[in-house]
Structure 1
Amino acid sequence: MLAETFISAALLATTALAAPAPNPIHLMTRAPNPGIVITKCAQPGMLALAYDDGPYQYTSRLVDILDAAGAKATFFWTGTLYGCIYNQAAAVKKAFASGHQLASHTWTHSHMSSMSASQITTEMTKVETAFANLIGKKPLYMRPPYLETGGQVLPVLKSMNYKVITDDIDTGDWNNQTPAQSEAKFTQAGAGGNGHIPLMHEVYSTTVNTLTPWLINWAKQNGLRLVTVAECLGDKGGEYQSASFPVQPGPFSC
C-alpha cells in the first residue's frame, strides 16, 4: 500500500512537470473584467486611438481619415454633450459600418463620482437605448467623464458588465494644448511596452485634422497597429451585447 501511494505521488509529480506552462501571451490577452479600470493595452505593438465627447460635426471626417489609413479607433460617445446623438445618426452608423468601436461616455457627461447608483444607471441606460436604436447593439465599454471612478461608479459599472477605460497618455487637447505639444507626449512615452490608450477628443478640429494624421504616421514609423481598445485588450468581439432594434419606434429625440 505504501509503495502504491509513493508510485501514485511520483506519477502526479511527473505529470505536473510535463504539463506545459500557461502561455503568457494568452494570459495577457484574456478579456478584461468588468468594473476594473484599464489604462493601457494588454500587449505590445498596438496603439488604440480613443476619442471622447462625440458624436459631433467632425465625426464623419475623422472616420474618413482613419479609413483611408486602414486604422481602427474607439469612439466614447455621449448622448447630449454636443447636441443630441440622434442628430448625428448618419455619422454614428458610418463609424459602426466602418468597423470602429462605439462605446459609452455617459448621457450628459456629468460628474459620476458624486452620483447615486440609480443616477449612474440612468446615465448608462440612456446611451444603451440610443445605441440600440441606431445600430442594434449596446456597448460593453465605457470611459467615465473626467476619468472619475470614485463613489458608486465602479460597483455600478461592474454590475452592468462594463469594461472601464481611462488612459495612459493625456493629449491635453481639452486643455488648449497644441497638436505639437500632444505629439511630444507620444514621442516621450515611446512605442515600447504595452500599447498606449490616449485621451483625445474628436470635438476639436486640430485633433481630427492635425494630431490624428500625425499619430497615424507615428504608428507606421514605429511598426504599431492602430486598433480598437477592445482589440488591444484581446477582447475583439466583446465590444457589444445584442439589443432589440429599435428599442422604440422613431423618430428619436433626446
Structure 2
Amino acid sequence: MLAETILAGLLLASGAAAAPAPNPLELIKRAPSPGVVIQKCSNPGMLALAYDDGPYQFTSDLVDILDAAGAKATFFWTGTLYGCIYGQSANVKKAFASGHQIASHTWTHGHMGSMSADQIRSEMTKVEDALVNLIGKKPAYMRPPYLETSGAFLPTMAELGYKVITDDVDAGDWNNQTPQQSEQAFQQAGASGNGHIPLMHETYTGTVHTLTPWLIDWAKQNGLKLVTVAECLGDADGAYQAGTFTPNGQTSC
C-alpha cells in the first residue's frame, strides 16, 4: 500500500511538471485591466480602426465599406451627441450584426474629468441601457470624450469594469485635417511594432468615404489585419460585459 501511494504521488508530480503554469505576463496581455488607459494594440500586424461620436448618418455607408473589405472596426457611440441613439436603431443593429465592436463614448459627450463619480456612472449606464435595448449587449470598452481621464474618471471605470481606450495616432479630422493630411499621420506612424488604435470620427464624410478606403488599402499593402480594438488587445471574447441582459423597452432619449 505504501509503495502504491508513493507511485501515485510520483505520477501526479510528473503530470504537473508536464503542464507548466501560464505565464502571468501572457495572462495580463490577453486580459486588459479595467480603469487603465490603453493607447495602442498589444499585438503586431494589426490595425484597429476606431470611430467616435456616432451613430450618425454615415454609419450605414461606413459599415458597407468595411464589410466589402472584410474589415472589422470599433464604434465608440454616444447617446445624444448627434441626436438620440434610438433614432439610429437600424444602423446600430446593422453594425453589430456585421460583427463590428460596439463600445461606449458616454451618453452626452461631456467632460468626464470635471464630473462626479455619480455623474460618470449615469453617463455610462444610460449608454448601457440603450445598447441592451438595441442589441442585447453591454459594452466593456469605452473611449472618453476629449480623451479626458482625470478626476474620478478612471477609478469609476475600474469600478464599472470598463477598459479605457485612447489612441496612438490622431487622424485630426476633428481639427479640420483633410483626409490627405490624415493619411500622412498614418504614414509617419508606420506599420511596424504593435498595431495602432487611431482617433477618428464617423461624423465626417471625408473620414468615412476617403480616409477609410485609403486605410483599407494601406493596411493591405503593409500586411496589416483590420480588427476590432478588443481583438488587437488579445481580448476578442471580452468586448462585452458578461451576462444576459433584458431590454427595458425604452424608445426615446
Shared fold (TM-score greater than 0.5)?
A: yes
Deviations along 1:144-196, one digit per CA (max 9) or x if unpaired, are 00000000000001000000000000110000000111000111110000000
The aligned counterpart of 2:129 is 129
> Take 1:85 and 1:21, find their aligned partners in 2: how far apart are those partners?
45
In the alignment, the residues of structure 2 paired with residue 64 and residue 18 of structure 1 have an alpha-carbon distance, to the nearest angstrom, of: 49
Task: Find out whether 1:146 has 2:146 as its counterpart.
Answer: yes
Shift of the 188–89 alpha-carbon distance from structure 1 to 2, 3 Å rule, reads same
Aligned residue for 2:249, secondary structure, equals: coil
Name 1:84's counterpart in structure 2.
84
Equivalent position of 1:180 in the other structure: 180
Counterpart mapping for 1:45-124 below 5 A = 45-124=45-124
Per-residue CA distance 1:202-227 (angstroms, 9 max, x = gap): 00000000000000000000000000
**Against the structure 1 CA distance between its residues 159 and 28, is the aligned structure 2 distance closer, same or farther, given a 3 Å change threshold?**
closer
Equivalent-residue separation in structure 2 for 1:156 and 1:24 (angstroms): 26
CA contact (8 A) 1:138 1:243 kept: no
The offset of 1:244, in angstroms, is 2.5
Q: What's the secondary structure of 1:208's corresponding residue?
A: helix
In the alignment, the residues of structure 2 paired with residue 82 and residue 249 of structure 1 have an alpha-carbon distance, to the nearest angstrom, of: 22
Give the structure with the larger strand fraction: 1
The Cα of 1:30 is off from its aligned counterpart by 1.6
Q: Distance in 2 between matches of 1:170 and 1:64?
A: 23
Shift of 1:133: 0.4
Q: Distance in 2 between matches of 1:228 and 1:115?
A: 29
Q: Does the C-alpha gap of structure 1 residues 44 and 24 become closer, same or farther in structure 2, counting only changes over 3 Å?
A: farther
Matched residue type, 1:204: Y
Name the residue aligned to 1:189: 189
- Per the normalisation by structure 2, the TM-score is 0.89
Give 1:28 shift: 6.7
Q: Quick one: which amino acid aligns to residue 194 of structure 2? A: N
Q: Which residue of 1 aligns with 2:235?
A: 235
Encode CA deviations 1:43-96: one digit per residue, 9 max, x unaligned: 100000000000000000000000000000000000000000000000000000
Q: Tell me how far 1:29 sits from its aligned partner.
A: 3.5
Counterpart amino acid of residue 129 in structure 1: D
1:23-42, Cα deviation, whole Å (9 max, x unpaired): 69935742100000000000
Indicate the SS of the match to 2:42. strand
- In structure 2, stretches of 5+ residues that fail to align are 1-16
In 2, the alpha carbon distance for the partners of 1:215 and 1:239 equals 23
SS of the residue 1:240 aligns to = coil
1:131 deviates by 0.4
Which residue number corresponds to residue 3 of structure 1?
none
**Contact 1:71–1:227 (Cα < 8 Å) also in 2:** yes
CA contact (8 A) 1:136 1:244 kept: yes
Which residue matches 2:159? 159
Contact 1:73 1:226 in 2 (8 A): yes
* TM-score with structure 1 setting the length: 0.89
Q: Which residue of 1 aligns with 2:252?
A: 253
Matched residue type, 2:252: S
**Contact 1:135/1:245 (8 A) holds in 2:** no
The structure 1 segments of at least 4 consecutive aligned residues displaced by more than 6 Å after TM superposition are: 17-25
Q: Which residue of 2 aligns with 1:168?
A: 168
Contact 1:38 1:165 in 2 (8 A): yes
Q: Among the aligned pairs, what percent are the same residue? A: 75
Superposition pairs of residues 17-32 of structure 1, within 5 angstroms: 26-27=26-27, 29-32=29-32
In structure 1, the gaps of 5 or more residues are: 1-16
